[in-house]
Structure 1
Amino acid sequence: MRTVLFCGLLGAALYLGAANPTTAQVKLKAEPINPISDSLAIRGLVTDVSTGVGIPGATVLLKGTTTGVSTDAKGAFRLVLPTAKGKHILQISSVGYVTQEMPVRPGQTVAVGLSADTKALNEVVVTGALSGRVAGVQIRGAVGKARRSHASTPSYYPYDQARRPRENRESNEHTTENGFQQVRKAPLSTFSIDVDAASYSNVRRFLLQDGQLPPPDAVRTEELVNYFRYNYPQPTDASAPCALTLEQARCPWAPQHQLVLVGMQARTVPTDKLPPANLVFLIDVSGSMSSPDKLPLVKASLKQLVRELRPQDKVSMVVYAGAAGLVLPPTPGTKRADIVAALDNLEAGGSTAGGEGLRLAYATARQHYLKEGNNRVILATDGDFNVGESSDDAMEHLIKQERESGVFLSVLGFGTGNLQDSKMERLADKGNGNYAYIDNLAEGRRVLVQQFGGTLFTLAKDVKLQVEFNPARVQSYRLIGYENRLLADEDFNNDKKDAGELGAGQQVTALYEVVPVGAPPVVDGLKYQPVAQAPTGAAATELLTVKMRYKEPQGQQSRLVSQALGAADAKSITEGSENLRWAAAVAQMSLLLRQSERRGNATWENTLQLARPARGRDDDGYRAECIRMMEAAAGLAPTKEVYGSR
């Protein structure tokens, strides 16, 4: 009998039976978790059947549903069944392994051994413009031929290799949290709607896979809040790309303050109505991409996008390591097998000439530019550029030059130990695109399939928000998050100032913590400044006004939209909409993870009390997963200190 000792969510030992290494039932000490959910929980360990080593990042899915989890760094998982009734089948899969299915019952603990997918390793279809080891890039096979190849170097890397100790070179840019602004000195708050969700999936990786709290600088509040879909109405004005939703309630972590939600809903465009796409996959195949959570996951994620391509869409493929090369010329969506074959044919090795790869990708996109289409480079990397332009400033300069052609840049981050988070976020911002961190295959599907329009099709560009606060109603305010999206007030009317892009069907949510007139001040009053004259008429009853400027995707002149929020007595947060309550719970979670000095009365206990009733309809299970993240963080938090709200 082989005994595998592991630490993580399970916190106990699982024993694999040698007679049946694929499935075995084991005993496990119970966790200190909610008794009701614990009675419905399935726990287990997923291992490589040949080595007995746990497989991190494997997908454990309840068959026929979207309920699932990923295994942690040790291969452990805990999945709560929605009900104790009926049959439950688990589907366990991982890149490079044969998918397993097994029946389970509530409260059961299982061990699953996955076997390597030898078919995937031995059958290689070759399609591409390069062959062999060309210009610093490794590509197997011969041009234009399909054949069976038994390559000496496999196209995947076993999980035990990924688990070997590696130097941690991850980087996160430090940001100083937004403070309170006095309305009489700074009545305007201006920012770009550049908002991604990469921070959320990165935080999820720390909490649910690695079993540790994330570094505070890895937590960007606006990205956690914007990971989720909200019930915002579609725009009714046919000429506007989006609709605004405004709401206020008492702030849960500072009850004497108010919490204001500003929501944007872009018009949803059916996939078959989207313009044709001219996509260039720019794939990092350098040596740092060799682990299973990098290049193999890149391939699996992009394959999901390939399956969604329409006949009018085209895909090219550029790869880079020590140098860059075009491995797939523009290929229509009718030839998906050729695109998949080119992906399967990639191997990792060498240094990282990111700048050269970007140049070639942009040149390819420009050469096949679609005037009325979606022209975009999709960069998949861990962000480690070490040949040519490698500094953030040099890469930014290159991308700012190239974006004028009308080709946008989306960045997909992969892997651990070497993740250059701040660099990839900056590249996407300057490339008029978005940034996502792909920590598992389910996230790849969410970004590239479920959010295809919002991720890859721009409805409006250079979108800016400016909020004006009424000094008769508000003494001070602070924008929660968006620290690296702030703009000068004069930038709002400056059409030359770059800002964020709004994709089809995309949502943007921002939260303000507002100190109303009459509440204890967070900043002492000014002695020598003149008192502003209070507004009269209808404006006197308003708390604030939200203004938005945007341009058409190919336009150069901005348009203006505005909407006011009345100054009604703030209701309790529990009386707020599901939108506001859930956004408030996630923001409070972020304040705790960031160890914010402004977290006020927030604790993990009252964060969970706020989140659970606000979960609402959760077809994809993302909100339930977030609650599990809160529970995990609560167990990892060292103290429960309460700080003031200043």
Structure 2
Amino acid sequence: MKTKILRIGFALFLTVSTFMVSAQEIEVHGTVYDASDRRPLIGTTVLIKGTHTGTITDIHGQYRIRVQKGKTLIFSFVGFLTKEVRVTGTRLDIYLEEDKRSLEEVTVVAFGKQKRQSLVGNMAYIQDRNIMTFQPPYIIRPNTEEYEAYKENRFLSASKHPLSTFSLDVDAASYGNIRRMINQGEMPGKDAVRIEEMINYFTYDYPQPGGEHPVNILTEATVCPWNKQHRLVRIGVKAKEIPSATLPPSNLVFLIDVSGSMYSQDKLPLVKSSMKLLVNNLRPEDRVAIVTYAGAAGEVLPATSGADKQKILDALENLQAGGSTAGGAGIQLAYKIAGKNFIKGGNNRVILCTDGDFNVGVSSTSELESLIESKRKSGVFLTVLGYGMGNYKDNKLQTLAEKGNGNHAYIDNLQEANKTLVNEFGSTMYAVAKDVKLQVEFNPAFVKAYRLVGYESRLLNEEDFNDDAKDAGELGAGHTVTALYEIVPAGVESSAGSVDPLKYQKQKNSSAALSLTGSKELLTVKLRYKSPDANRSKKLEIALPANQLNKNPSKDFHFAMAVAMFGQLLKDSDFKGDATYGKVIDLARKGLDEDRQGYRREFIRLVETVEQLEK
């Protein structure tokens, strides 16, 4: 009997010991790689199975997480197969395989079924733009997304309208948004397509500025790929690069929408993960405050040093969605706190994260425009990050970005958040020039008519160029901006409208008379900008000779032309000429270059998907 009791006791001891060992919490760390090329995967989700506890990999693909020994970690990254690994030690490097399975989904639409093939990425929920939105458990929700409608730029006569003027903004929200739609098997609405934002989503290899100006201009001309009788001129602007380590200290206010409309997984949870990426890269001299708004606005976290990352991360983790949306009150409070903690010579910025669905207090587009215009003179800049689908208010976020010395990006997944907030931190968060305007003067001796491709919402009057009181866009450190002009050469038939001869003005009847100086220049590009803390602008200009036609354009120009052609096809543009998706893909492949981040290859896959959707 005594022996039996000893045996039972020993068995219990072993059981308890085993339990204590298995319950031992350890810190596991490692790196997550792409198995095909050993490239670190930034923004990989690492989750303890059966819990909501997790983390994400940093800019080096590395992670750290405290977990009980014997538990299972789940590693997931968009476009890769999810991997589950049991924890047996403190070091755990993971290699994820690309998910090459072809997806074929059946989507319920109006009164039938629609097959979707060649989908790229993951779907948060299914929607048909003009009918309904379905989200598990298949609750029918109306699609209330809003986009501003703009009339497409048309050809203008160079003799009657020799000047073209616009604000040089570098927003890229439209590309991320239409990518989201296409990835869901849905064709974007025409008003969601802003061609200049599609082109400027990508970076280009423009030369660094030198001398007194923080910006540089380049020009290039070639045959227009969708109309061989026309010419296409590329105007590129490059802002000076500043290494992240030497950027001035940042005074950031995270303004986060926590209203009920932000509840879904692609909204507030994605906002929190996005901001964590940014927080992980803050320096001790940087400071962050957090303001939230739902039915009312409030300060969740006072200005906190970047050295105290855990405090900031904890404040983010505790955010929950619920209530109505008092966006205007949130904006006012965020600017007040940013002003209170203002760093002279530093980077002072409000980062707004929302779906744009403001419905309490200041909520209309015109009211928001007035509010944000009153704040932009404070020296505090604005970054607008749009999230979500189904009720996304693109028009309101565009207004905020355009009127508030701001920029606008659309975040549809963690990889996009990493691109915007980590890889492009300097260009997104630190302005080197504000109120940047571009004016092009065309020589009618060589140009019969011209058309600016895109920028419809950013057009300015010609006298606005020299008016320092007129607001315009900002350029961040390292930013590249591209504008394309389609040109009808002199002597070629033009679609520019004509009017009857004027009775009271002297008529010019010859091309020689149209260019009294005898200049051999096709056009002159002029750029005005202000330093971030200045009120007076500076000007620089460059001319493009008429005989400079590049029959073998650069890789960057090939790719920009491909994106512009794709945008015109999506908009069903009156000027798309003989453009096809096949031509877009051919042009884009010629412009691949190194493509280290894979964004250009992703573009090609997107075009291929649309080609299949339209069959």
> How much does 1:91 deviate?
5.6
1: CA distance, partners of 2:386 / 2:158 = 39
Count of aligned pairs between the two proteins = 508
Question: Counterparts of 2:613 and 2:164 in 1: how far apart (Å)?
Answer: 36
Once the two structures are TM-superposed, the CA of residue 523 in structure 1 deviates from its matched residue by 3.0
Residues 135-164 of structure 1 deviation map (CA, whole Å, 9 limit, x = unaligned): xxxxxxxxxxxxxxxxxxxxxxxx975864
CA distance in 2, matches of 1:324, 1:198: 26
User: Which of 206, 210, 215 pairs up with 1:232?
Assistant: 206
2:252 aligned residue: 279
Select the residue among 490, 493, 496 that pairs with 1:523.
496
Are 2:76 and 1:92 equivalent residues in the alignment?
yes
SS of residue in 1 equivalent to 2:484? strand
Gap change, CA 1:556 and 1:68, over 3 Å in 2: closer
Is the contact between residue 559 and residue 591 of structure 2 (CA under 8 Å) also seen in structure 1?
A: yes
Which one of the candidate residues 572, 575, 589 is aligned to 1:598? 575
Select which of 243, 249, 266 maps to 2:239.
266
Checking the alignment, whether the CA contact within 8 Å between 1:534 and 1:540 is kept in structure 2 is no
Q: Name the counterpart of 1:150.
A: none
Structure 1: which 5+ runs fail to align?
A: 1-58, 71-89, 112-158, 639-646
Matched, 1:319 2:299: no
CA contact (8 A) 2:279 2:306 kept: yes
8 Å contact from structure 1 (residues 67, 620) kept in 2: no
What is the deviation of 1:540?
A: 2.0
* CA offset digits 1:6-44 (Å, max 9, x no partner): xxxxxxxxxxxxxxxxxxxxxxxxxxxxxxxxxxxxxxx
**Helix, strand or coil at the partner of 1:634:** helix
**Paired position in structure 2 for 1:344:** 317
1:181 aligns with 2:165: no
Residues 1:218 and 1:68: Cα distance change in structure 2 (over 3 Å):
farther
Matches of 2:301 and 2:100 in 1, distance apart? 49
Structure-1 residue corresponding to 2:353:
380
> Which of 1 and 2 has greater Rg?
2
Q: Deviations over 1:53-83 (max 9, x none)?
A: xxxxxx996574378999xxxxxxxxxxxxx
Q: 1:108 to 1:187 in 2, by over 3 A?
A: closer
What's 2:429 paired with?
456
Q: Which moved more, 1:464-473 or 1:390-399?
A: 390-399
Counterpart in 2 of 1:246? 219
The one-letter amino acid of 1:247's match is E
Output the amino acid matched with 1:311.
Answer: P
Aligned equivalents of 1:496, 1:536: Cα separation in 2: 33
CA distance in 2, matches of 1:464, 1:274: 25
SS in 1 for 2:261: helix
Question: Shift of residue 589 of structure 1?
Answer: 0.3
Question: 1:337-416 counterparts in 2 under 5 A?
Answer: 337-416=310-389
Change (3 A) 1:61 1:523: same
Displacement of 1:521 = 2.1
Amino acid at match of 2:582: E
Q: Structure 2 CA distance, aligned partners of 1:620 and 1:219?
A: 23
CA, structure 1 residues 378+270, in 2 after alignment: closer, same or farther (shift >3 Å)?
Answer: same
Q: Partner of 1:562 in structure 2?
A: 541
Question: Aligned partners of 1:105, 1:558: CA distance in 2, in Å?
Answer: 50
Aligned ranges for residues 33-72 of structure 1 at < 5 Å?
A: 64-65=38-39
Question: In the alignment, is residue 294 of structure 1 matched against residue 267 of structure 2?
Answer: yes
Residues 106 and 282 of structure 1: CA distance in aligned 2, closer, same or farther (over 3 Å): closer
Q: Are residue 553 (structure 1) and residue 526 (structure 2) matched?
A: no
Q: The residue matched to 2:271 in structure 1 has which SS?
A: helix
**2:43·2:414 contact (CA, 8 Å) conserved in 1?**
no
SS at match of 2:377: helix
Percent identity between the two aligned chains: 50
CA distance 1:304–1:596, change in 2 (3 Å): same
- Structure 2-normalised TM-score? 0.79
Within the candidate set 168, 185, 188, 1:214 is matched to 188
Amino acid in structure 1 at the alignment position of 2:536: Q
- Note the C-alpha offset of 1:355: 1.1
> C-alpha distance in 1, partners of 2:103/2:535?
59
So what's the TM-score if we normalise by structure 1? 0.75
1:194 to partner: Cα distance: 1.7
Aligned to 2:594: 617
| Residue identity opposite 1:568 in structure 2 | N
Residue 195 of structure 1 deviates from its aligned partner by 2.6
Deviation at 1:340, TM superposition (A): 0.4
Q: Which runs of 5+ in 2 are unaligned?
A: 1-31, 45-73, 85-93, 105-133, 502-506
1:599 Cα deviation (Å)?
0.3
Q: Is the 8 A contact 2:82 2:96 kept in 1?
A: no
Shift of 1:375: 0.8
**Per the alignment, do residues 493 and 312 of structure 1 end up closer, same or farther by CA in structure 2, a change over 3 Å counting?**
same
Deviation of 1:605 (Å): 1.3
Q: 1:99 to 1:448 in 2, by over 3 A?
A: farther
Alignment of 1:434-513 (within 5 A): 434-513=407-486
